[in-house]
Chains A and B, each alone.
Chain A
Amino acid sequence: MPFAVVLILLVVGSLVFHVFSPWTFTPLASNWGMIDFTIDITFWVTGAVFVAVNLFMAYCVIKFRYKKGARATYEPENKKLETWLTWLTAVGVAAMLTPGLFVWAQFVDVPEDAHEVEAVGQQWHWSYRYPGDDGKFGEVDAERISADNPFGMDPDDPNGQDDVLVMHPEARVPVNQPVKFLLRSKDVLHDFAIAQFRVKMDLVPGMQTYLWLTPTETGRFEVLCEELCGIAHHTMRGAVVVEEPEDFNAWLAQQPTYSEINARVAGNAAMGAAQYAVCAACHGPQGEGLQALNAPKIAGQSAWYLKRQLQNYKSGARGAHPDDTFGKQMAPMAAMLVDDAAIDNVVAYIQTLPDNPPQVTVDGNVANGEKLYRVCSYCHGAEGQGIQAMNAPRAAGMTDWYVARQLQNFKDGIRGAHPTDFYGFQMMFMANVLHDQQAIDDLVAYINTL
């Protein structure tokens, strides 16, 4: 008897949980309402079966529980009943399958007027490519991928010259226009998924896959990688911003094309030297850093990283958090660099500065640090040298107190929480693995040995 009651309670409880659960689908923001409709049908059919069969079973457990002297009925089979149940099941299955196949046919068939965006996945970042004015993508090839050519573009393909390359994980698309996402991976399997749009598809290296949808709401929608792609799989996030067509067109026009990127002049170190005078006040004439002024060593740091951080300070992606005392000091300094060319120049000058090993200031358990560093080594390299393809800066041979403070900042959400600090966002996850000050010290002590 208690067993039957529990069964009934579980059925009722499941239904109640289902009805009152706050955990359910996020509001739909695309044309794929038919998917939700199919899910609803399936809920009704399966829910009815769940309730009916289990309640019947509970009834049997009560009614036919063991009684002394009672005797079970002898009935080997009942063809009529079995046939009847089979057909009923078949009808239920058909009711669920039919709309499913109908919607899938729509998903497979991309509308003619869909515009195309290519989403490129790699461990553990997204980037995007738009076909440009000619509406055609240039040829790409995995074997051509390099630090200077992260998309693997064919430099001789005329179709590729006006391709718009978005080298960060935030894409934009216009609202109410069908869009076909072409999906490409540089390394392993990934999956392009946006919960509000309902659809997702894997990225497979060596081939191109696709999905399509029509965004129906404006806003920022997070892209999650949903196919295991290595240890930082959970940090592989991006976003698709849906906006009004005119906003979208304005944004797209600002983005550099492949030929514009190629035409960029390298930074001029001589011109950067003058601007560096301001920096030298804190970071030192040799870029060696000065702990008393909380200025880290910048000499020897990769150019791409310095440039990104200066841009982040300028845009407010970094140094805007109220608790980021020293970052707030840096922000106005970065703002003095009027444009990207100025940034390139000063970075070029910093590249000419001598890379002397800084003073060791952090002490910790190196053996423990070595264990902790294993996770870091995937992106920052076994020697802490930094890997541009992973968007991971050099960590070894830099000012150790600064590395420790940044780890703490990431952990505390002081750095990396801004929605456009894409790579800092990833470091927040990773810094959380370090549980306390001691762990940070141990790790930094190990990095000092590299």
Chain B
Amino acid sequence: MGYVAIADRDHEIEHHDPQTFITKYVWSQDHKVIAIQYAGTAIFVGVIALILSAMMRLQLGFPDQFSFINPENYYQFITMHGMIMVIYLLTALFLGGFGNYLIPLMCGSRDMVFPYMNMLSYWVYLLSVIILLISFFVPGGSTGAGWTLYPPQAIMPGTPGVDWGIILMLASLAVFIVAFTMGGLNYVTTVLQARCRGMTLMRMPLSVWGIFMATILGLLAFPALLVSAIMMLLDKTIMTSFFMPAISSMGVDSGHTGGSPILFQHLFWFFGHPEVYIVALPAFGIVSDLLSTHARKNIFGYRMMVWALIAIGGLSFIVWAHHMYVSGMNPYFGFFFATTTLIIAVPTAIKVYNWVLTLWEGNIHLRVPMLFAIAFIFTFIHGGLTGLFLGNVTIDLPLSDTYFVVAHFHMVMGVSPILVVFGAIYHWWPKITGKMYNETLGKWHFWMTFLGTYSIYLPMHYLGFAGVPRRYFAMGNTEFMPESAQDLNAWITMSALFVAATQVLFFINVIWSLTRGPKADPNPWDATTLEWQTPDTPPKHGNWGHDLPECHRWAYDYSVPGYEDDFIPQNVAADVAPAGRDHGGAH
């Protein structure tokens, strides 16, 4: 007795179609609606975080020109900007948003395996967002400890939000982890159990692989954050000493004794480094599919791509202390972690080569999603290469805690994933909404975002070389710093404001498309993967109509010799040579 996919029991399972508006769009258990709820909420908080970054850039570019920015709220801005962007935007958007939308459709299933838990996951996520937003309004405001929340400083006077802000922050993170775990269990189980007939693991599109691996990383890594959050809450509220040593703060003995701040850093980065890949792996997967589809060519070296994803995921758990080279931990750890960190460059480089080689001898359509995808390769190469500076323990000595670090991680973890997010939204927009977007507006949006962000972050590396420390409210007079560093900062701020403003184009495009956009073709890009073969666009509840699809081939049958069309959808039988274009979908 072999594998019995849930697919084979399809007709035994009842699907209750939601009847009312509330069950359809609010308390919905449909993965597509939940995906949109997740994505909408994530983008909403992302916009808040974008505004926070604009505020801090105003101070850095034009110090002390704006009366609404002072050192206290500046540090609150940077903290909340970082935390929101990393956790509440990128993690939630890639896994809760794209994961939810794509996994069942790409795997050929009707929904997530546990739709109720999936719904719960979103609402608990929303709760965590609400707790986070409340922390802006409590006495003392939100925490200003930096997104890493290092103790002792995160819970000692001298840091903003030390009364309520930090408690709400930690509580919000704990709630988020609960939400993520509920979602994550669903994604993993769905990928493992609910694939349609014929969808072997090695036939899955790389998007699913990326999301799948990222979810596994998240499930194993988020507990580290939970543990450190619980322990810090105890240190803060009932004066245990997990992380807190004996301290004389502002002339007053804190009452703690013997704890280790380094212990927190180990736990935090044990989560924190995999978190980088929780964001990056889905982006890797999605961008692979965009490149292949729009270049009309199979992804180059699919098997290598899958194994590179797995290798990166596994290695990401043994590199965490490269964030701690100058933390005061045992310096001999540096040898080990520098080596593992640079080893991780090899599978990452392989992925880059394979993306570029996918373009080689392709037939490249430079549509909006493809522009974003290629731009991603460019920024990711840049961000990846600067990672080789910081990962190499010796070079980290002068560069850590400077703007070089800020530039590096924004390039690799900010700009690159966001380019993929936009590329993916443009790519799947016709399927999600059934409407086309405005190509011209999309291209404008692309150019301004891509060139604008590069003009922010390329120069920022050089501030780091010059020695400008990160997390400084103002540089003031610093003898070794050329005066012109301030001009560069002003330029970066103007670029940042420009990029932030041009994101309006995206929202205009969304509104334009929803109100006046032309009806979209079910498969406008001639893509092979299953989500483009649904009987309805946008797909209805249950996705596939009466019969589930069957998968007969991998996701990358583009330009196969001997076929008239330059693509063969995954659900086309192996022995059938397609004659025309109209074979997609179950009938």
Contacts and interface: CB of A to CB of B under 8 A. Distances in A.
Contacts, number: 366
A201 to B, nearest CB: 5
B476 A429 contact: yes
A314 B301 CA distance: 75
Contacts of B260: 206-207
Contact of A77 (B72, B251, B297, B304): B304
Contact of B301 (A78, A105, A186, A435): A78
Interface string A180-202: 00010011110101011011111
B394 A100 contact: yes
A375 interface: yes
Interface stretch (B42-50, B275-283, B377-385, B497-505): B377-385
B350 A233 contact: no
Chain B, interface residues (CB within 8 Å), range: 35 or more
Contacts of B258: 206
Given A22-B482, A73-B559, 5 more contacts: A21-B465, A46-B388, A206-B247, A228-B146, A432-B64
B499 to A, nearest CB: 16
Given A38-B392, A50-B381, A100-B394, A232 B71 contact: yes
A38 B559 contact: no
Contact of B67 (A73, A183, A435): A435
Contact of B473 (A123, A191, A388, A429): A429
Interface string B320-354: 00000011100110110011001101100110111
B158 interface: yes
A79 to B, nearest CB: 9
A100 B393 contact: yes
A121 B47 CA distance: 38
A302 interface: no
B361 A104 contact: no
Given A24-B462, A61-B364, A86-B350, A231 B297 contact: no
B150 interface: yes
A54 interface: yes
Given A74-B561, A200-B326, A228-B150, A101 B462 contact: no
A240 interface: no
A378 interface: yes
Interface stretch (A142-150, A287-295, A335-343): A142-150
A72 B401 contact: no
A145 B394 contact: no
Given A74-B560, A187-B249, A200-B400, A100 B395 contact: yes
B459 interface: yes
Contacts of B262: 204, 207
B363 A24 contact: no
A49 interface: yes
B313 interface: no
A407 to B, nearest CB: 13
Interface stretch (A88-96, A274-282, A321-329): A88-96
B67 A204 contact: no
Interface in B57-105: 63-64, 67, 70-72, 75
B382 A50 contact: yes
B285 interface: no
Contacts of B75: 228, 230-231, 233
A57 B359 CA distance: 7
A369 B348 CA distance: 54
B560 A85 contact: no
Contacts of A221: 480
Contacts of B479: 220, 222
Contact of A428 (B386, B467, B476): B476
9 contacts: A56-B356, A76-B556, A97-B342, A189-B152, A204-B262, A228-B75, A232-B71, A374-B70, A378-B157
A229 to B, nearest CB: 6
Most chain A beta-carbon contacts within 10 A, residue among B249, B250, B349, B482: B250
Interface string A97-125: 10111011101100000000000001100
A67 B338 CA distance: 46
Nearest to B305: A77
Contacts of A99: 394
Nearest to B454: A10
Contact of A187 (B67, B152, B301): B152
B171 interface: no
